[in-house]
Structure 1
Amino acid sequence: MAFGVRQFELALMHRMRDLGAARVEDALRAMGVTRAELRQAHAQWTAMAHSPRAPKGWRAFRAVLGPPAYEGARRAGSLTCDVARWALPSWPDLQFEVLAGPGGEVLNQWFVRPGGGRAPAFAELTPWSCVVADVEAGFADVSHLEGPAPHHWTVGFTHEGTRYRARFVHGLYQRLDRAG
């Protein structure tokens, strides 16, 4: 089976199940996808990443997702990096961004909001509704922490005197926890 946009979305959702299994199950039902198809997409993406014949880095995303909706350059410290973004049907208001260094090595991959972050109200923090930049724009006292698994990210912030941790997978908001 060819690996394309739909399978890529499923591979992303496979990792999102770590923090939002119910949301992923709802999406699978809406897409008419079984858990077996979800697992197969994840296995295919993983196999491609480790195959000596499959495209690597930047080229892997282009091979799977086609031409990007946006291409540009961005400075990251002393490096000038290539940036590409793709629109994905399951997240129509967002784009999946890949940041690649010299030689096409992928440095970061996650969802972004085209045009930058929007500041959500606390009550608007619902799964799959925002990205890391949105939380940065909406709340003061933001701190960034690595997540406990690959492609996980945590953003700490304070709201009405209480410290919270917003949990993200691939830069897409999954859930909110009170900081302990």
Structure 2
Amino acid sequence: MMAGTSGPQGSPGPLGPREFQLVLLRRLADFQPDLAQDARISMGVSLTAMRDVNRRWQAMVRSPRARGAAERYLSVLGPPESVVRRQIGDLECEALLWPVPLWPDLRFEAMRGPDGRVWNEWLVRAPGAPGPVLETADDLRPWSATVDEVARAFGPVRMRDSGTPHRSRLEVTLPGGERRVAEFTWGLLDGLSAARPEGEAP
């Protein structure tokens, strides 16, 4: 049985950092099922357990008594490893960063605005950790890079509507001028797709 999922008499225990990784994996599995399965197995977790954790997470998020996103992450993940102040336009925001053991070189980042609300949540490279070398389309392998890293390597870029929570799409310029769309889940690269006109079905 996965540690942290059961309390006294077999009742579900509180969700914690380990369970939150399964929440990330459940969404990542929609687009990279083999990678997500390998990660889940490396944690010693069954598919049923992962689904149960995700069900409990969704119930927490959708509850009429649900706390704000920042409070929810603090209750599940504990105090952040670091809090970094960032200026976004005219707004001074806070980036709350937590370690993610599945990806030691990444951190889960929740961007909290002046009103206390979280307006962005995704995986980013850990401060000081070396990022990938991104020079060609072949370097854009699933789970190899974050949104910011791809944007810096293949500009100019343009954000495309994803229409799905925790899903990002970034139109990038590859060497030679070809335009493609980099697809991300929780800020982690899934792969490339064709750069179709906005609104056109894939």
C-alpha separation in 2, matches of 1:102 and 1:157 = 31
Deviation at 1:53, TM superposition (A): 4.5
**Which piece of structure 1 moves more, 156-165 or 109-118?**
109-118
Deviation larger for 50-59 or 62-71: 50-59
Structure 1: distance between partners of 2:124 and 2:162: 18
Which SS does the other structure have where 1:90 is aligned? Answer: coil
Secondary structure of residue in 2 paired with 1:19: coil
Matched, 1:124 2:139: yes
Q: Which piece of structure 1 moves more, 6-15 or 96-105?
A: 96-105
Percent of residue pairs identical: 37
Equivalent pairs, count: 180
TM-aligned CA deviation for residue 96 of structure 1: 0.7
Deviation at 1:17, TM superposition (A): 1.9
Q: Return 5+ residue gaps in structure 1 as ranges.
A: none
Higher relative contact order (Cα pairs below 8 Å, separated by 6+ residues): 1
Deviation at 1:52, TM superposition (A): 4.3
The aligned amino acid for 1:127 is: P
Who wins on radius of gyration, i.e. which is larger?
2
In the TM superposition, residue 20 of structure 1 has moved relative to its aligned partner by 1.3
Q: How does 1:36-75 map to 2 (within 5 A)?
A: 36-75=48-87
Distance in 1 between residues matched to 2:139 and 2:184, nearest whole Å: 15
Within 1, Cα distance between the matches of 2:134 and 2:45? 31
Please give the alpha-carbon distance, in whole angstroms, between the structure 1 residues aligned to 2:120 and 2:19: 20
- CA shift, 1:54, in A, is 4.9
The reply on whether 1:114 has 2:126 as its aligned counterpart is yes
Give the counterpart of 2:191 among 152, 175, 180. Answer: 175
In 2: Cα distance, 1:142 partner to 1:79 partner: 23
- Residue by residue over 1:9-51, the C-alpha shift from the partner in whole angstroms, topping out at 9 and shown as x without a partner, is 1111111122212211121122222221121121111111123
Say whether 1:81 aligns with 2:93.
yes
What's the counterpart of residue 182 of structure 2? 166
Q: Which residue of 1 aligns with 2:20?
A: 8
What is the TM-score normalised by the length of structure 1?
Answer: 0.90
Q: 2:116 corresponds to which letter in structure 1?
A: G
Q: Which amino acid aligns with 1:120?
A: L
**How many angstroms apart in 1 are the aligned matches of 2:173 and 2:84?**
34
**Conserved in 2, the CA contact under 8 Å of 1:85 and 1:97?**
yes
Unmatched 5+ stretches in structure 2: 1-12, 197-202
What amino acid is the match of 2:135? A
SS at match of 2:104: strand
Distance in 2 between residues matched to 1:42 and 1:113, nearest whole Å: 24
**Cα distance in structure 2, aligned partners of 1:43 and 1:19:** 19
Contact 2:167–2:184, Cα closer than 8 Å, also in 1: yes
Whole-angstrom CA distance in 2 between matches of 1:37 and 1:127: 25
* Counterpart Cα distance in 1 of 2:187 and 2:59: 23
